[in-house]
Every structure is written in structure tokens, then in C-alpha cells.
């Protein structure tokens, strides 16, 4: 399958996606979560652990700091952040293939990881839907409509972080090879 973004647009779109990723990340992290992070909630894995985290957020909340609201805010903003970071990583992988000319399997891997970055985003959206279900269920006395929601969220989080990590590693290797080639020419 061919990569959908033309070569000439990759660097400018990467830079735009990277800036948006950083800006939205800073905004998303402007509201703290204590004593557990959102990543801890992502990996809760079952209702009892999720309930411990939600109760800890509720208990730690004070006047002016509502950690439950901050968790909901984080999930909402994350939905806007997903296409930015997924596209930035995808384009970073696609750009890194340029440093690996003549290494056919590395180039194939790079484009596979470029597509996988967008798949990571899809897993992140599924994870967020499940976490929203868990948060709503545990804060509003409603029955869970998806009993496996915490487990689904944890599985999606693991897949997401794995794909993102592989994409970032590939992009970093491409950057190091590109910089090495530039330094060797000077």
C-alpha cells in the first residue's frame, strides 16, 4: 500500500503536526492528576483497580482542583491530540525512510510503521471511549454498558504504546543515520 502523503508535503506537514502535538500536549497536561496519572488509569485493566483510581482522584480533589474533571478533560483533549501525534510519528517514519536509501527492508519497515502510527491513533480512540465509559460509570451510578471496558482500554493502551514506541525508535534511527551522513560529508 502506498503512503498517502506526497514526498514534497511530508516535511512541512510533519512540522505542523509536531507543533500541534507539542501545543496540545502542553494544554492537556495543564490540569494535573494526582495521585494517579491518566496512564495509570489507562492500564487499570479491571473495574476494581479503576475504582481505586477514581476514588483516589475524588478524595484528592480540593476546592479549585477537581481531579475527576481533570481526568475527563484529559480524555476529551486527547481525542484532538491523537490525529496530531499519530500524523507526526507517521510522517517522521516516512521521512526517515529517505535516510535509509538502498536498504529495502528498512524502507518497507518504515512505511509499515508510518501506517502503524495511524493505527495507534485508532487504538487510542477506542481506549478513550472505554475510559470514558469507566469514568462515567464510576462517577454517576450508572450501570456499565461494556463490562470489559477497563480490560479493552488496557489492551488498546498497550498496543498503542508499542506502536508509538516502535515508530519513534525507527524515526530516531533514521535521524541518527541522516545526521551521520551529513557530518561525514563535512
Boundaries of every domain in the chain: 7-185
pTM beyond 0.75, yes or no = yes
**Interior angle at CA 74, CA 73 and CA 77, nearest 5:** 80
Give residue 182's pLDDT band: very low, low, confident or very high (50, 70, 90): confident
Q: Is a pLDDT exceeding 80 seen at residue 8? A: yes
What is d(CA 62, CA 59) in angstroms, rounded to the nearest whole number? 8
Q: And the C-alpha cell for 136?
A: 462515567
**Interior angle at CA 82, CA 78 and CA 156, nearest 5:** 85
What is d(CA 178, CA 174) in angstroms, rounded to the nearest whole number? 6
Give the chain's length.
186
pLDDT tens column, 68-123? 999 999 999 999 999 999 999 999 999 999 998 888 999 999 999 999 999 999 99
Q: What is the mean pLDDT of residues 61-66?
A: 93
Amino acid at each position: 500500500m502506498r503512503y498517502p502523503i506526497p514526498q514534497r508535503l511530508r516535511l512541512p506537514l510533519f512540522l505542523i503536526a509536531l507543533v500541534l502535538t507539542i501545543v496540545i500536549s502542553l494544554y492537556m497536561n495543564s490540569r494535573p492528576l494526582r495521585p494517579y496519572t491518566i496512564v495509570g488509569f489507562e492500564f487499570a485493566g479491571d473495574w476494581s483497580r479503576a475504582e481505586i483510581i477514581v476514588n483516589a482522584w475524588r478524595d484528592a480533589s480540593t476546592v479549585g482542583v477537581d481531579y475527576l474533571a481533570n481526568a475527563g478533560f484529559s480524555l476529551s483533549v486527547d481525542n484532538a491530540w491523537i490525529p496530531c501525534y499519530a500524523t507526526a510519528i507517521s510522517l517522521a517514519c516516512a521521512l526517515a525512510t529517505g535516510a535509509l536509501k538502498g536498504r529495502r527492508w528498512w524502507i518497507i519497515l518504515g512505511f509499515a510503521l508510518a501506517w502503524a502510527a495511524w493505527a495507534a491513533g485508532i487504538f487510542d480512540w477506542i481506549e478513550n471511549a472505554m475510559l470514558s465509559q469507566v469514568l462515567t460509570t464510576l462517577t454517576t451510578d450508572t450501570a456499565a454498558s461494556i463490562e470489559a471496558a477497563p480490560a479493552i482500554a488496557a489492551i488498546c493502551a498497550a498496543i498503542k504504546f508499542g506502536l508509538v514506541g516502535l515508530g519513534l525508535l525507527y524515526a530516531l534511527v533514521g535521524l541518527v543515520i541522516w545526521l551521520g551522513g551529513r557530518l561525514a560529508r563535512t
